[in-house]
Structure 1
Amino acid sequence: MMMAKTLLFAAGAVLLGTSGATAGGFQVYLPSQQSIGMGGVGVGLSMEQAAQFLNPGAMAMLRQNGVQVGVSATFARLAFRPISGGPQRELENTTVTPFNVYASFGPKDGKFRAGVAVYTPYGSTLKYQPGWEGRFALTEITLRAVYVQPTVSYAITDQLSVGAGLMILASGSVNLQRAVALPSAEGSIELDGKTKTGFGVNAGIFFKPSDKLSVGISYRSKIDAKVEGGDVILADITPALQPNFAADRFDATLPLPATVNIGIGVTPTEKLTIGLDANLTQWSAYRSLRFDFTKDGQPAQVGRGTFSESKRSYQDALTFRLGGQYKATDELALRLGAAYDFSPVKTGYVTPETPDNDRVIATAGVGYDITENFGVDASFMFQAILKRTQTEAQLLDNGTTDRVAGTYRTNISIPGIGLRYNF
């Protein structure tokens, strides 16, 4: 039973990854360098091509066609101390580089605009030190995902516009490594697979009743990320136990939850812009995670069964964001922001691949127009994930003993750079 539980948890880590390095749960929220510098706001603003992600309804209000690209680098410092004491464990150094590309086109004085966005809402790497207490749940994981979103937006009036985009999970891959607990030795397992193409909708409404005030609301629907026929690779399994590990493929489905976003933009002066956003992520769709194991297309055994199911029981969670931009000169823009991100992970459900808790976030950024049409943006985000302790008693109470008791503490630094060209 113990072997089945630890394999189940490892498979769960394949889909979850460590994308939560940039948002609660396993969600990434790095819209663009301009938005990051302002705390991630933008639902109630129409400032840049990243409106395709933040609020497609605002894209029609952009005054110029344009292209912008950006990349961030996440540096996570995670420390774990087992509940029983002992040495502190830390992550080995890893760097992840989520990116974004946005482009929109339309008649210069027209009401219609079309665009395309490419971004990485999931993509991380995590590697624990050898010999750590949770090695039978997780030692290393890599997750990659790329979304493509064609988008259209229309200005119904000079104050009101709408828009929608087709979200396409175009490419995704996962790789996991972990130790396997055997009666008199340790084996290893690697799970590797690609996600199937998935589809969702990103839609929004933008309203600007005056030059100083704007509001917006957007909705990004759930996408089910499916892995079918992923590889199960086992090593150092003792011959006597090999019949209990016959499977060489696995199938699983992970819901990527829907989000509802509301934003307000205020422009007190021509130089100052302020944004306030609230994001509700519907994590309650994530109740459990089931894995079906097969060999040659038929159910096959892993541990003591042909499938396993693990509790998640996430809860819906809010994020509040506040940020601003000040035009120091015609060419130079200075940005600051902050956010508070509530964790969807309940007590007793914390896992090594998402050692999550509420997050305090601070950001800063700068933009510079090199020419009338060409500019560069830089951003920096710091996240402090509040310390979280999970006890053996809590795991027993929730029936979640397929994870590790102990204390997690995580800080994340995310610098980024972006380029934009308007025409």
Structure 2
Amino acid sequence: MKLKSLLLVGGALLSGSAASAGGFQVSLAGIKNNGMGGVGTGLALDQAAMFYNPGALAMVRERGVQIGANATFARQSFRGQFGSEERTLRNSVVTPFSLFAGFGPAEGKWKAGIAVYTPFGSKLQYADGWEGRFALTDIDLKSIFVQPTVSYALTENLSVGVGVAVLAYGAVNLQRDIPAQNAQGQFGHVELDGKAENKVGFNAGIYFKPSEKLSVGVSYRSKIDATVKGGDVTFSNLSAAATPSFRATEFDVTIPLPATTTIGIGLMPTEKLTLALDVNHVQWSQYRSLDFKFNNNVGGAGITSSSSKRFYEDALTFRLGGQYALTDAFTVRAGGAYDMSPVKDGYVTPETPDANRVSGTLGVSYKAGEHFSVDVSTQFVSLAKRTQTQSDLLNNGTTDRVAGTYKTNIVIPGIGFNYNF
């Protein structure tokens, strides 16, 4: 057995296949932003600017604390190329969360704050006995980023900011069956479990508001390499004959979390209406292959490493949204997004069955008094059907994955609480 077919699921390290962005990128930070299609780079809405554009934080007049949480409900199905049965994944829920706290003088030139958010995370549980069980059966991924941020207004119209983005916690659990049966007729099973090392990157931005009706922002989030060293490898249900080929107990792997550049524009035609457009460019082409190292044999004598092709392409996301203040207490929001997948035909993997996706969003806020408000959002995400054939896999040399058709629809409700002072 070739090792590359053993652990292709590692490509999902800290991934987000049930998220609101392509590949394994997630954009579920600010609940207000979520209701507006995920826009935010060209706006200074609230403390969530630390995520979307640190340069805009200095233009947020209110100091405050906000917490938010989302729940992703995905219906994901697969039909094998040579099978007639459509298999639906077992139900699983992922709950990305965020915390933003900003402070500084109300009329001063600077603001600072701390942001905590979960930009990568996923949980997939495929149906028992599905065609790709020798590639993946279960995946559970978690991550937490912490970002101290400072922003300064150079003039009344121009501000800059930077945040130190720290991968403070990351965990991955991956499982799959092995195509070798024991005396009881059970297939072998392998489980990988590991924690990522702490890594540091940055998130920087510029915000410019030349008039009361127009604002522009540019932000850049740097690449971070997520690395697991000394993760646990556990084999089970192996026959006595197969055991000598599977003796590894630890693994190392690194995967790039790619750099993202975003340009955003905000329009304020009236005092009550705000419109915004964001364009994201994600440098997915940095992800060429997935390489594992093991401390002992995996799949045969002397085999202690593997390489699985990815060859991702850079991708764009277009986001459009707006909000309207119905009253002093109620604000409504709506938006949408079109997200281009970085995964090329013939390179789709079960842990990230990605495809071009269209999103629609709704949101509302209620302000209860001078200091407290509640935000609610809902996103509806539809991924295009994604089919790859056995011929595609043979032509690309990617037979470590499965031929067939994936289809995914996702609903993501969210709620946030704000306290300004």
2:216 corresponding residue in structure 1: 215
Which deviates further from its counterpart, 318-327 or 119-128? 119-128
How far 1:353 sits from its partner (Å)? 0.8
Q: SS of the residue aligned with 1:343?
A: coil
1:351 corresponding residue in structure 2: 349
Counterpart-to-counterpart distance in 1, 2:238 and 2:385: 37
Q: List per-residue Cα deviations over 1:81-103 (Å, max 9, x = no partner).
A: 00113210011111110000001
From 321, 324, 333, the counterpart of 2:322:
324
CA contact (8 A) 2:181 2:188 kept: no
CA contact (8 A) 2:14 2:143 kept: no
Is 1:6 aligned with 2:2? no
How far 1:5 sits from its partner (Å)? 3.0
How far 1:412 sits from its partner (Å)? 0.3
Alignment of 1:7-406 (within 5 A): 7-13=6-12, 15=13, 17-182=15-180, 186-294=187-295, 300-304=296-300, 305-406=303-404
Structure 2: runs of 5 or more not aligned: none
Counterpart-to-counterpart distance in 1, 2:317 and 2:107: 36
Relative distance call for 1:311 and 1:20 in structure 2 (3 A) is farther
TM-score when normalising by structure 1: 0.97
Letter of the 2:7 counterpart:
L
CA contact (8 A) 1:19 1:122 kept: no
Is 1:419 aligned with 2:420? no
How far 1:10 sits from its partner (Å)? 3.2
How far 1:6 sits from its partner (Å)? 2.6
Counterpart-to-counterpart distance in 2, 1:11 and 1:207: 41
Counterpart-to-counterpart distance in 1, 2:378 and 2:43: 20
CA contact (8 A) 2:46 2:62 kept: no
Q: How many residues align?
A: 416
TM-score when normalising by structure 2: 0.97
Counterpart-to-counterpart distance in 2, 1:167 and 1:386: 32
CA contact (8 A) 1:20 1:356 kept: no
Relative distance call for 1:19 and 1:387 in structure 2 (3 A) is closer
Letter of the 1:221 counterpart:
S
How far 1:16 sits from its partner (Å)? 5.2
Letter of the 1:301 counterpart:
N
Letter of the 2:196 counterpart:
T
Which deviates further from its counterpart, 83-92 or 325-334? 83-92
CA contact (8 A) 1:206 1:217 kept: yes
Q: List per-residue Cα deviations over 1:156-199 (Å, max 9, x = no partner).
A: 00000000000000001111121111166510111000000011
Counterpart-to-counterpart distance in 1, 2:205 and 2:340: 24
Counterpart-to-counterpart distance in 2, 1:158 and 1:235: 64
Letter of the 1:302 counterpart:
V
Q: List per-residue Cα deviations over 1:273-298 (Å, max 9, x = no partner).
A: 0000000000000000100001xxxx
Q: List per-residue Cα deviations over 1:279-321 (Å, max 9, x = no partner).
A: 0000000000100001xxxxx1101311000000000000000
Q: List per-residue Cα deviations over 1:338-388 (Å, max 9, x = no partner).
A: 000000000000011111110000000000101111000000000000011
Counterpart-to-counterpart distance in 1, 2:292 and 2:140: 19
Counterpart-to-counterpart distance in 2, 1:392 and 1:177: 23
Structure 1: runs of 5 or more not aligned: 295-299
Q: SS of the residue aligned with 1:394?
A: helix
Letter of the 1:39 counterpart:
G
Counterpart-to-counterpart distance in 2, 1:18 and 1:310: 19
Counterpart-to-counterpart distance in 2, 1:104 and 1:33: 16
Counterpart-to-counterpart distance in 2, 1:366 and 1:205: 28
Q: List per-residue Cα deviations over 1:53-105 (Å, max 9, x = no partner).
A: 00000000011111111000000100100011321001111111000000110
Q: SS of the residue aligned with 2:94?
A: coil
CA contact (8 A) 1:138 1:177 kept: yes
Counterpart-to-counterpart distance in 1, 2:314 and 2:18: 15
CA contact (8 A) 1:18 1:126 kept: no
